A and B are shown apart, each in its own frame.
Chain A
Amino acid sequence: MRALNHWATLSRWVLCTPALLILLLAASGPLLIVLVYSFLSPGAYGGVVWQFSTEGWFRVFFSRDIFDGSVAPAQAHLQIFWRSVRLALLTTFFAALLGFPTAWFIATRPAGTRELWLFLVTIPFWTNLVIRTFAIQEVIRNQGLINSALLNSGLINQPIQMLYTDFAILVGMTYVFLPLMVLPLYASMEKLDGRLLEAAYDLYASRARVLWHVIVPLVKPGFIAGSILVFIPAIGAYVTPRILGGGRNLMLGNLIELQFGQGRNWPLGAALALTLLVIVLVALLIYIRLVMRDPERDHG
């Protein structure tokens, strides 16, 4: 396509100005300030002192003994990093495990009813995150739906402790992010050419082989997109671990918030936030590489 001349380009920029201004003021611009703050010294009551320091970044990975000043890896932080990555990956896995058959089910409905099923998947997604997480809490807590039902039926004598565990966070995140896996999977399944399945069956492929060698490779783009859409909010989750993890089972998001609250260490909080951003960017780069990869290679 031909490029526009100066005036036409300028007029387009002018039209975009309100949006760009709001985004620069209240989204993109402040990110740069986070970078600056991560290199300052913490103030005694929160905030910062304008004095250059790499202590914030240092404290992300290492801790210093208060008495003899010896340096050791920050065990607590590394544990939280590991929990965040592990839970985000597990969430992605379980979302795919449930999401793949669900998307397939929707994609194979008659054209008229497909939109209705799709709508049913999206309704929970558009309802408030706090409420959905609250709902999970009410199902799994000790006096909740599951434990009440089990106790009433006499199957157990004591409630099973599910709330305030990593398991609870995993269940909650899978629940709240599942639609993000179903929608892109559905989009790529809908485009799938039915004749390819027919051809595979004509050549005596079993259902398992068709699934693994025909369907899965063809819907891979949807699967990759769904995975990134689930992984990013899961690794940065704050609300779900706060409600279902109960203060002890922190994830990165809660660790960051802690530095701006009780921790009163804004530079460390800023450095942790940027660390999270780097993890997300790495995930996005992997995503882009996977998408851009020569499609020929997949079938070779």
Chain B
Amino acid sequence: MARRAFALNRLPGFTLIAFITFFLLYLPILTLVVFSFNAEASMSIWGGFSVDWYRAAFANRTVQEVSLRSLVIAVSAASVATTAATLAALATTRTPTFRGQTLIYALIHQPLMVPEIVTGVALLIFFAVIKVYTGYTGLAYLIAAHSAFCIPFAYLPIRARLQTMDITLERAAADLYATPLQTFRRITLPLLMPGILAGFMLAFVISLDTVVITEFVKSAGQDTLATYMLGQIRRAVTPEMYAISTLFLLLSILAVAVFFLLSRQRLG
């Protein structure tokens, strides 16, 4: 697609539609951002620039609580998912085919195929049984559910990174009498690190975004930022919610930007 001298690539109207699409993609998000700074609680009146809604959001006890819970779940789930996905990626990449490989692939990618609502229902039923038997109703259910859901997202960038890595480096280390553990720690792990971090970032963002599963799995008083917002939208919309949304947006964009930078990093 490099030749551009003779307008081979031009298709009339396409650029216009593309610009309209980009405009439509950002209009709703920017609306939230802009009106989060409106002193007036209205979309028809601009009452001047103000950060009062941010102040209100930060002072809101419930918001503090659900934000902290979201972060705890996201960091825990992303850590578990990334660790499990790294081991699975090491076992299933750069290897001759082995028995059951297809089954493992299918299981790892399963959360991507099944609609979230179906997984949500399944977990609601399953965890309800466990809750009755064990009496435990803590955060572990949410962390487990998020970990499982995040595994394919963590797995993909790690696997992609592994595929670009030259296995001869590890062979050379082994030839020089490095133990498998030494080879892993000194050669494989450092080279794989950008992939692992990218996988972690992706899993982190996905966990923050997971709302349907959370809605079904959470016990009373275990709202995350996403389910809290979902509940609030039904009641009354205040510009304070624009402020929370803007901060949430910022966090996601930051995580995704880091993900992109990491996954673009070349070997060398």
Chain A contact residues, CB within 8 Å of chain B? 1-4, 8-9, 11-13, 15-16, 18-20, 22-31, 33-34, 37, 47, 98-99, 101-102, 104-108, 110-111, 115, 119-124, 126-132, 134-139, 143-145, 148, 151-152, 175, 178, 189-190, 192, 194, 197-198, 201, 207, 211, 215, 232-233, 235-236, 238-239, 242-243, 252-253, 256-257, 260, 266, 269-270, 273-274, 276-277, 280, 284
Show 7 A/B contacts (Cβ-Cβ < 8 Å), sorted by A: A15-B90, A16-B92, A126-B255, A129-B226, A132-B28, A143-B42, A201-B6
Q: Mark B201-241, 1 if CB is under 8 A from A, else 0.
A: 00001001101100010000000011001100100010001
B-chain residues with CB within 8 Å of residue A190 when the two chains form the complex? 1
7 smallest CB-CB distances across A and B, nearest first, come from A236-B115, A105-B18, A135-B28, A30-B122, A15-B91, A26-B148, A30-B126
Query: A236 near B9 (CB under 8 angstroms)?
Result: no
**Which residues from 25 to 47 on chain B have a C-beta closer than 8 Å to any C-beta of chain A?**
25-29, 31-32, 35, 42-44
**Which residues from 78 to 102 on chain B have a C-beta closer than 8 Å to any C-beta of chain A?**
80-81, 83-85, 87-88, 90-92, 95-100
B-chain residues with CB within 8 Å of residue A31 when the two chains form the complex? 114, 118-119, 122
A111 to B148, CA, bound (A): 37
Query: A34 near B118 (CB under 8 angstroms)?
Result: yes
Query: B125 near A16 (CB under 8 angstroms)?
Result: no
Partner of A108, one of B9, B32, B44, B208: B9
A249 to B33, CA, bound (A): 29
A152 to B45, CA, bound (A): 10
The binding surface of chain B is classed by DSSP as helix
Query: B25 near A197 (CB under 8 angstroms)?
Result: no
Query: A111 near B114 (CB under 8 angstroms)?
Result: no
The number of inter-chain residue pairs (CB within 8 angstroms) is: 289
- Answer yes or no: B8 CB below 8 A from chain A CBs: yes
Query: B209 near A128 (CB under 8 angstroms)?
Result: yes
Q: Mark B101-131, 1 if CB is under 8 A from A, else 0.
A: 0001001101101111111011111101100
A158 to B114, CA, bound (A): 43
Known A-B contacts A1-B96, A139-B31, A201-B8; the reply to A128 vs B126 at CB < 8 A is no
Query: B9 near A197 (CB under 8 angstroms)?
Result: yes
- Answer yes or no: B165 CB below 8 A from chain A CBs: no
B-chain residues with CB within 8 Å of residue A23 when the two chains form the complex? 107-108, 110-111, 148, 151
- Answer yes or no: B197 CB below 8 A from chain A CBs: no
Known A-B contacts A20-B107, A127-B29, A242-B230; the reply to A178 vs B21 at CB < 8 A is yes
A233 to B210, CA, bound (A): 13
B-chain residues with CB within 8 Å of residue A99 when the two chains form the complex? 21
Known A-B contacts A34-B122, A273-B117, A280-B113; the reply to A194 vs B11 at CB < 8 A is no
A127 to B21, CA, bound (A): 17
Other 13 A-B pairs with CB < 8 A, given A19-B107, A128-B248, A135-B28: A12-B91, A31-B118, A33-B126, A34-B118, A104-B11, A115-B264, A128-B252, A130-B229, A134-B245, A198-B6, A198-B8, A235-B115, A252-B117
A136 to B27, CA, bound (A): 9
Partner of A26, one of B83, B144, B226, B248: B144
A66 to B44, CA, bound (A): 51
